[in-house]
Chain A
Amino acid sequence: MTRVLEVGNLRVSFPGENGRRYCPVDGVSFTLDRGETMALVGESGCGKSLTSLALVRLIPPPGRVDPKSVIHLGDTDVMALQGEGLRRIRGRRVGMIFQDPMTSLNPVFTAGDQIGEAIRAHFPVSRAEARERSLRLLQEVGIPDAAARLDAYPHQLSGGMRQRVMIAIALAAEPEILVADEPTTALDVTVQAQILEVLDRLRASRGMAVLLITHDLGIVAGRADRVAVMYAGQIVEEAPTPELFARPSHPYTQGLFASVPRIHGPVKRLTPIAGSVPPPADWPAGCRFRPRCPKAFDKCTQAPPPLVVGPQHDMRCWLAEGGQ
């Protein structure tokens, strides 16, 4: 298994009031191997989207990736890259799909233009050749009547088709990693399944590694090889998918599973996780999940728990020491 991505101690900071800096991504580490799919799961505001943007250093100013972060794409040290070097890895080594295809596509250019542009940014081909390749990409992502759609504008396409165009754009430069940030959240339920199926197929045929970012546990099952659960800027639990689903260990993960409504059997009440995700300014000292945790004890207020790497599970919780 070749390692295509290695992320160590990734920290993204933003300036807040009074000159302080907050870190919505605070010490995230994970790896990705060729052909592997990893899911990054968490509620909105936990820092998962920022994590994905940080991989190619697309954090919008005044945000910053902490220079001590480690991001290695194979042999390439992303933190050491500047200008042209960064441009070359974007799209070519890492392809990105974003959440809302309506606003993520430029309204004044055709689908073909936008795909062709992604190709020509990295390969020295003619416009005609780029157009050919774009056509093939559109067919590959399963767009019917691809030739006509090549010259369509985003507002002329349905939500599902737009997202397929976005996937085509992400794949255009033949990257080794595909980052999909909530790829189905903005789509109708019926379309969601189609898009996920397209992603599966492409991943298999191209042998890519996929980082799937989502808040929906349902998408993860059967698709991801491993799952990392994020909360308040940190990974709180990481395990292979079957293991996580069978034995969720972190109280937050347990809460996530518990809050998914079950259709089988009688249900009296839903069991949400109490409270809501606090903004970085309001993170408590000690464990960040403590205010919402049903299993908190005094150690949880004193110090933030470290990530304990176990044989099957990685977990960030004081309960881990007790071997829960």
Chain B
Amino acid sequence: MRRWLLRRTAQAVVTLAIALVLIFVLMRLAPGDPLARLSEDRPLPAAQVAALRARFGLDRSIREQFGTFIGGLARGDLGISIEYGRPVTSLMAERLPATLLLGGTVLLLNFTAGVWLGVGQAKRRGGAVDRSLTVLSLAGYAMPSFWLGLVLAWLVGVKWHLLPAAGMEDPLLGPAGRPLARAADIGRHLILPALTLSVVSIAATMRYQRTAMLEVLRLPYIVTARAKGLGERAVTWHHAWRNAFFPVLTLFGLWLPLLVTGSVFVESVFAWPGLGSLAVTAVGYRDYPLLMGTSLLVAVVVVCGSLLTDLAYAVLDPRVRLS
């Protein structure tokens, strides 16, 4: 097991390294000069452009730029944002908590509601509940998250005026407000973006869980469990779900990229001050150090997520753990 862990971690490191190189290559591959873009949007005097070019190392060879890039990474320096003029790392650190809050909430919803609904569907296979939930989940999966967000923002936020449709906090409350009131306020702002992002992901979780559950419920050891005289709840959750959980766990690894992609749109639509909206801003301003920094962080998150998932699988399945 230990050897497997070492090998798997090494594999993750290699994957990350390749992703890193890819990010660098992709950005440099793009036709056009980033600074030319910049001066297109706002006219700059030639001297300043030249200064910027020197500052961001764009006047040096590709190999030198890559060297600076790697060197900077090793020191934890991701460069300076062209638009904000501040280190990329501090900008990302600022925005990270909001994204973690949103992402964490959605994850929680997925692994509670998504799992529970999927299991419920499997138990009532073929019934009205099962079929309607399937249709709903297929529809949810087909929705563009930005559109759903706008629809919800319009309906719930504007038309019915039930929940706030933008931002994370009421600016009037601010950091000076009482912690409990602030928390409640943030909570209210969280509802719509979390709901939007959840709709798409829960749809996928439900389907996977349902399929996995149906497969397990057919297996002979479920009959044994019932023949022992165990109650239905114990059979469903203790015996069946314990085995049907694994495919959903692997889903987490695949699903993290989905969450990241979705949060780009959802944060943008709801003006949620997280990394997703930061990425959108970086795109809008052609701010390549910022965009590169965010992409890097995303790659790290995805690789770590996948590693953690494999680890969890190995720990929870005795057939893997003890081989």
Contact = CB atoms under 8 A, between A and B. Distances in A.
Interface in B211-266: 219-221, 223-231, 239, 242-243
Contact of A153 (B226, B239, B318): B318
A89 B243 CA distance: 26
Given A58-B223, A98-B220, A155-B319, A108 B228 contact: no
Interface size class, chain B: 20 to 34
A133 interface: no
B322 interface: yes
Contacts of B220: 98, 100, 103-104
A108 B319 CA distance: 8
B225 A156 contact: no
B178 to A, nearest CB: 47
B316 to A, nearest CB: 8
Nearest to B321: A153
Contacts of A91: 227-229
Contacts of A106: 221, 224-225, 239, 242-243
B317 interface: yes
Nearest to B227: A96
Contacts of B322: 153, 156
Nearest to B221: A106
Contacts of A155: 318-319
B243 A121 contact: no
A164 interface: no
Contacts of A56: 227
A98 B229 contact: no
Contacts of B225: 106
B221 A104 contact: yes
Contacts of A53: 223
Interface in A23-67: 53, 56, 58, 60
Contacts of B228: 90-91, 117-118, 121, 169, 172-173
Contacts of A92: 229
A107 B319 CA distance: 8
A301 to B, nearest CB: 39
Given A100-B220, A103-B220, A108-B243, A87 B230 contact: yes
Interface string A212-230: 0000000000000000000
A136 interface: no
A87 B231 CA distance: 6
Contacts of B230: 87, 117, 121
B229 A107 contact: no
A108 B229 contact: no
Contacts of B316: 108
Given A88-B229, A91-B228, A121-B230, A108 B223 contact: no
A89 B226 CA distance: 11
B315 to A, nearest CB: 12
Interface in A81-127: 84, 87-92, 95-96, 98, 100, 103-109, 117-118, 121-122
Given A58-B226, A90-B226, A153-B319, A107 B231 contact: no
Given A89-B229, A121-B230, A98 B318 contact: no
Given A87-B231, A92-B229, A121-B230, A104 B224 contact: yes
B231 to A, nearest CB: 6
Nearest to A57: B226
Interface in A183-208: none
Interface in B267-323: 316-319, 322
Contacts of B219: 103
A103 B220 CA distance: 6
A147 B228 CA distance: 22
Contacts of A103: 219-221
A109 B225 CA distance: 12
A80 to B, nearest CB: 18
Closest 3 CB pairs of A and B: A91-B229, A90-B229, A118-B228
29 contacts: A53-B223, A56-B227, A58-B223, A58-B226, A60-B223, A87-B230, A98-B224, A103-B219, A103-B221, A104-B220, A104-B223, A104-B224, A105-B221, A106-B221, A106-B239, A106-B243, A107-B318, A107-B319, A108-B242, A108-B316, A121-B229, A121-B230, A153-B319, A155-B318, A155-B319, A166-B224, A169-B228, A173-B228, A173-B229
Interface of A: 53, 56, 58, 60, 84, 87-92, 95-96, 98, 100, 103-109, 117-118, 121-122, 153, 155-156, 166, 169, 172-173
Interface of B: 219-221, 223-231, 239, 242-243, 316-319, 322
